[in-house]
Amino acid sequence: MAKFIIKSAKQTLTINKNMWQQVNQYVDHSSYYTNGQIETDGKIEGIENGFAIQQATYIICRVALNEALSPPIDWEEDFRESSQMWQERYEGTSLLLVSEEERLRSIDSIIAEMEASDTIPLVLYEKLYAASRYVLQSCSGTSIPNLQGIWTGTFEPAWSGDYTFDTNVELAIASFSRLGLFQELRAVFDRLKHYFADFQENAQRIYGCRGFFVPSHASTTAKHVQWNQEWPLITWTAGAAWLGHFYAEYADYTGDLNFLREDALPFWKQTILFYEDFLLKQEDALLFRPSYSPENGMGDNAAFDVAALKETLTNTIAAHLLLGEPVPGNYREMFEKLPMYAINEEGILKEWIDPKKEEHYNHRHFSQFYPLFESKEIQPDKNPELWQATEKAFDKKMEAWVTNKDSGNTSSHGRMHAAMCALALGRTSDLQRSLEEFIKNRAFYNSLISAHYNHQNVFNIDANGALPRIYQDAVLYPTEKEKVSLFQAVPDSLETGELRGVFLPGNIKVNTFSWNIKKRTFDLELIASRDTELEITLSPCFYVQKERTTLKLKKGKLKRIHFEGGYLNEEVVGKSPT
């Protein structure tokens, strides 16, 4: 007999045959409804706080939030419409690495093979990609993915299942643009609007500043109330700037100028407004005091804080120029007076510009690498000294934390950021090692939803949010606007494969991209929503004639690029397929 228990400390629960309705209430007296219906070929009986089902070969549980049962929900019609729409969106994107027969293998057999051989079956990489997309679509579209998505199994999830803005939310939405989940990303921005008043209240009441101060945690409120002596998160001010990165990403990937003008610019201006009041003005440079580098203590001028604000200013100035609007003079002045990143006597990029702060590499956050993996400010041809210093810092980080079995802590979000850094640096072995640490240590459940720690400890979806981006960037890495590096860092798991239905900046859709590293061949089909150019840089193992080439893309025309024998051939196929 299967038994389903619906349980909550503060709820009103009504059970009627195979249907239920809950009213769940928070401490602030706000509440939400949960309605459900169970369909089964077995015998079903309502019991206290749940249902008992016997002799069932199938059970379908349908749930709706914030809906009353009067009038009754048309479950069949809702299910048909939503499943059709969901399936079309889901099947529009795919990563193919194995045969159809291999793809049908059970998770149990795949895990058993991995544990017996101490190697990761290729099919597991493909399934993690597919499952991650499933997770992202399932818990997105009307709000922000929280720490557990929509699956908690308890009314007491880890860290209250909140929105955590000092890494986790940013990872959960990291793949949205590349997967073309623009509707889901807009839902994130729409949800943030509900918090704008709280962001402003935080700035005013805590620091006496105007503008936005985004807390590290939010739930029914975004008031900054979750901090203490051990976790002095009240000193971390870069939350709005980091979220601002995704406003820029959405604008870049969609080319939506109305969004840029009406949503992105106002958000960035409120972010900058806070720092206009917050930053201490000195003769040589502005001073971030207090400053916090998650999760490595307080000091002056964390590299993370400087990098995030620098990106916001860069995007804001560029947006004004693109929209033909005058750039406020104080924006350029603020940019010029930001502190310079610090390099220590060993030539290593420091997490702290504050000379009094010592470096501490054994922790799970990759804060000082923000200008490498996120804003991509640090580039080998633009600032070679910083690039070399960043490489040395990453070596220290890999040694002290990622590959250190005695580090004392594990974290899936840290491994995902390590993978992103390895990609930016073009370091295949470090990318492979970061993914192996996540997979071999079973930091995911048999459902393929990620865990926060090793050995399926703490249900947490943020690694799922990052994996599709990491896979795609390994073979299609956007270095700058309208510039893409092909085969930036390709681990063994991606030596041969095919991607379908993903996106690049400039609202360029990758219809298909198939490749074989050993044979040095690839086929790439692109569709642009407007006339544009895309510069592609080839991995040294591919090019013979030249390293870079610029593709001219016409609006709505399918361009096919074929590479074989060291030569690249282009052809316009015609109108894009439906």
What integer pLDDT is reported at residue 481 of this predicted model? 84
Helix (H, G, I), strand (E, B) or coil at 63: strand
Vertex 92: Cα angle to 87 and 94 (nearest 5)? 105
**Tens of pLDDT, residues 539-562:** 887 766 668 889 999 999 999 999
| Overall pTM surpassing 0.75 (yes/no) | yes
What integer pLDDT is reported at residue 5 of this predicted model? 59
Tokens of residue 150, six digits: 């929509």
Higher pLDDT, 175 or 71: 175
Count Cβ atoms within 10 A of the Cβ of residue 24 and give its class: 0-12 exposed, 13-18 middle, 19 or more buried: middle
| Residue 152: pLDDT over 80 | no
| Residue 340 CB contacts under 8 Å (≥ 6 apart), including other chains | 285, 353
Average pLDDT of the residues in 143-156 = 82
| Residue 10: pLDDT over 60 | no
Higher pLDDT, 244 or 151: 244
The mean pLDDT of the chain is 91
Residue 490's nearest CA partner among 544, 419, 552 is: 419
Q: Where are the domains of the chain?
A: 1-87, 507-575
Average pLDDT of the residues in 40-60 = 81
**CB burial readout 551-572, b (16+ within 10 A) else e:** bebeeebbbebebeeeebeeee
Percent residues over pLDDT 90 in the chain? 71
| Residue 129 CB contacts under 8 Å (≥ 6 apart), including other chains | 95, 467, 468, 471
Tell how strand 43-47 and strand 31-40 pair up.
unpaired
User: d(Cα 92, Cα 386) in Å, to the nearest integer?
Assistant: 40
| Residue 578: pLDDT over 70 | no
| Residue 204: pLDDT over 60 | yes
Tell how strand 496-504 and strand 94-96 pair up.
antiparallel
> Rounded to an integer, what is the distance from CA 348 to the centroid of its chain?
27
567: confidence class by pLDDT, cuts 50, 70, 90: confident
For residue 221, how many C-alpha atoms fall within 13 Å in the half-sphere facing its CB? 13
Helix (H, G, I), strand (E, B) or coil at 413: helix
Q: DSSP secondary structure string, 428-481? A: HHHHHHHHHHHHHTT-B-TTS-BEEETTTEEE--HHHHHHHHHHHHHHEEEEET
What integer pLDDT is reported at residue 73 of this predicted model? 60
| Residue 343: pLDDT over 80 | yes
